[in-house]
Structure 1
Amino acid sequence: MELVCPAGTPASLRAAVEAGADVVYCGFRDATNARNFPGLNFSRTELAESVTFAHKHGVHVYLACNTYPKAGSEDIWHKAVDDAVAIGVDAVILADIGLLRYARDKHPDARLHLSVQASASNEEAIRFYHREFGVRRVVLPRVLSLEEIRMLNRRIGVETEVFAFGGMCVMAEGRCSLSSYATGESPNMNGVCSPASYVHYEERGDTTVSRLGDFTINIYGSDEKVGYPTLCKGRFSAMGKAGYLFEEPTSLDVTAILPELADAGVTALKIEGRQRGKAYISQVVGAFRASLDRIASGQNGQAGIRGNLTSLSEGQTDTTGAYRRSWQ
């Protein structure tokens, strides 16, 4: 399976390449990508230099242009597609139907991938994107089980890419408006989910309160680890009890089920984390490279790997999420 790794900066891209990535994905420094954070992403010159570096080492580069164009400002997104193709990226990752049509018509030879932001999670939707726009690969939302992925791969004739490590979004990507409701900014339109400028913490006696804008997301006891206040990971009160939707805040880690994902027909494994530093990128990519190489040689892919990754996980815990759907 192809190892697709994140890069928020040229330094992180080099770290991913040197750690064993097959592909590095990144975005331009503007609202056209869903990780539009200050200090991250690439200028046109930086992307061109990074593509040259990656190709020299046999590594592909994908450009994420996966937010939804704003009415009257479509030229920004069109230019991102045009520039990415001119620079020579190996695929452009898109979500918006109009932008997919533009890319197909303007650059018929470009390889197009469907972003998870499009939230295509069934056979009919994926076939539509393949038929109408020539999409070659779909990044599947983090809500499908292993058996559902296996069934899709038997029927669709399109490559599938699944998330392997990092943030565990429990919503259907591309349809979440919670962040926009609370802060006025969302990943779909602005490239930011729960932006840091709206985050603050308050000490109340023996508890810590995490807030996003005007909303309390969680209240932690003195014996609990304090997490980042993402709306869908907040603790909810219902029928006199407080709890999380599915699991306590945790990180996705599929090292335990890599052979099962391969058997289900998955083409590529996507590591999440373009906002992470190069040390994190080196450690995670290196661990997955070693694990995949061990499996390819007939060994146990988990040996010595999971402990290293758990230390990088939210709450120092991990989950296989919907793949095994232990919370259903």
Structure 2
Amino acid sequence: MMELVCPAGTPAALRAAVEAGAHAVYCGFSDETNARNFPGLNFSTEELTAAVAGAHKRGAKVLVALNTFPRAGAEKLWHQRLADAEAAGVDAVILADIGLLDYAATHHPKLRRHLSVQAAASNPDAINFYAETFDVKRVVLPRVLTVQEIAAINKEINVETEAFVFGGLCVMAEGRCALSSYATGLSPNMNGVCSPASHVVYAEEGPDLAAKLGGFTIHRTPKDQPAPYPTLCKGCFTSGEQTGHVFEDPVSLDARHLIPALAKAGVTALKIEGRQRSRAYVAEVVRAFRAATDALAEGRDLPLAELARLTEGQQATAGAYAKTWR
């Protein structure tokens, strides 16, 4: 059976994911060592230890994301978090930085290592380098590959692959986002915050509500309509005589109908994005995908529960899997 890897931004969300049928959950510490460093999210060392014990009792794995790039001179925080993760009994750590991978392989050799999507390893040569050099057991694939490309990659590597199937769709080169950094001065890949709430402002301007990030207007909508969260790569801009979403529409990835094709392509695990989402969101999405993976394992047609209301803008896309926008 394909492993279902589900988000857990809080201890409550982790419990909800496990109860809904997650085979594995991924989470992070409450600091800049993970790429979802938002206020009110993530785990203390004590919370992680308790969460691991609870998940293991129900047969679920816990993966910890240490997937940001350490600042020069501040490596000790990331090193300490590796030790904390191992002490808590986690099943794997998800890493992106080469230096941190080397440190983990040297000082924590028994701690299973997964390669984060932040490392942007999207070809066999890159993946094999990480596997051979740092004994990486699984790679989380960037969201820029077609199903056919994933199948071709899997024929040339000897590690597990994990592919995103639902949630936020990052269209930047994974691990190299510069737009949010430019607007806010905080790097998603180093500080762990994309479009941080501390830099978001909603302001009434005449008949419109402007959604701003770092002083830049990203969206402008009538006051009586919902205003999207101002994420730069999904902003609405005017260029010449045209106004629209230059990089990507504010929609979410939903690749449930491609699960059989991803299984045939050799994908080991399916990943749901959304550590910043509520436990109710996590529970509903996990239940839907667990039903789909169970159906695939049993040779039944996949049930496609309605999840549109949980997607960004109530719209979904297959992203690069179907090569509709690349």
- TM-score, length basis structure 2: 0.96
SS in 2 for 1:219: strand
Distance change >3 Å, CA 299–CA 222, structure 1 → 2: farther
SS in 2 for 1:49: helix
Q: Deviations over 1:174-215 (max 9, x none)?
A: 001211111111211111100011111223333332210111
Residues 123, 155 of structure 1: 8 Å contact kept: yes
Q: Does 1:322 align with 2:323?
A: no
Q: CA deviation at 1:300?
A: 2.1
Aligned partner of 1:191: which letter?
Answer: G
Distance change >3 Å, CA 67–CA 247, structure 1 → 2: closer
CA distance in 2, matches of 1:63, 1:11: 16
1:131: which partner in 2? 132
Aligned partner of 2:313: which letter?
Answer: G
Distance change >3 Å, CA 144–CA 223, structure 1 → 2: farther
CA distance in 2, matches of 1:115, 1:284: 22
Aligned partner of 2:206: which letter?
Answer: G
CA distance in 1, matches of 2:46, 2:205: 48
Q: CA deviation at 1:79?
A: 0.6
Aligned partner of 1:47: which letter?
Answer: L
Q: CA deviation at 1:76?
A: 0.4
CA distance in 1, matches of 2:148, 2:51: 37
2:202: which partner in 1? 201
**Percent identity over the alignment?**
62
- The answer for unaligned runs of 5 or more in structure 1 is none
CA distance in 1, matches of 2:248, 2:73: 41
Aligned partner of 2:239: which letter?
Answer: A
1:302: which partner in 2? 303
1:159: which partner in 2? 160
The 5-angstrom pairing of residues 99-248 of structure 1 reads 99-221=100-222, 225-245=226-246, 247-248=248-249
Aligned partner of 2:39: which letter?
Answer: P
CA distance in 1, matches of 2:131, 2:278: 35
Residues 3, 270 of structure 2: 8 Å contact kept: yes
Aligned partner of 1:216: which letter?
Answer: T
What RMSD over aligned residues (CA atoms) do the two structures have, in Å?
1.4
Q: Deviations over 1:276-328 (max 9, x none)?
A: 1111111110111111112222222134x1x1x11100111111101001124
1:311: which partner in 2? 309
Distance change >3 Å, CA 10–CA 96, structure 1 → 2: same
Residues 294, 300 of structure 1: 8 Å contact kept: yes
Residues 70, 190 of structure 2: 8 Å contact kept: yes
CA distance in 2, matches of 1:242, 1:224: 18
Q: CA deviation at 1:247?
A: 4.3
Q: Deviations over 1:96-116 (max 9, x none)?
A: 000000000011122100001
CA distance in 1, matches of 2:44, 2:260: 38
CA distance in 1, matches of 2:150, 2:222: 39
CA distance in 2, matches of 1:223, 1:14: 36
Residues 233, 248 of structure 2: 8 Å contact kept: no
Q: CA deviation at 1:225?
A: 4.5
Q: CA deviation at 1:245?
A: 3.3
- More off after superposition, 288-297 vs 213-222: 213-222
Q: Deviations over 1:142-164 (max 9, x none)?
A: 11111111111111111111111
Q: Deviations over 1:198-247 (max 9, x none)?
A: 11122333333221011111223578642111011112333421222354
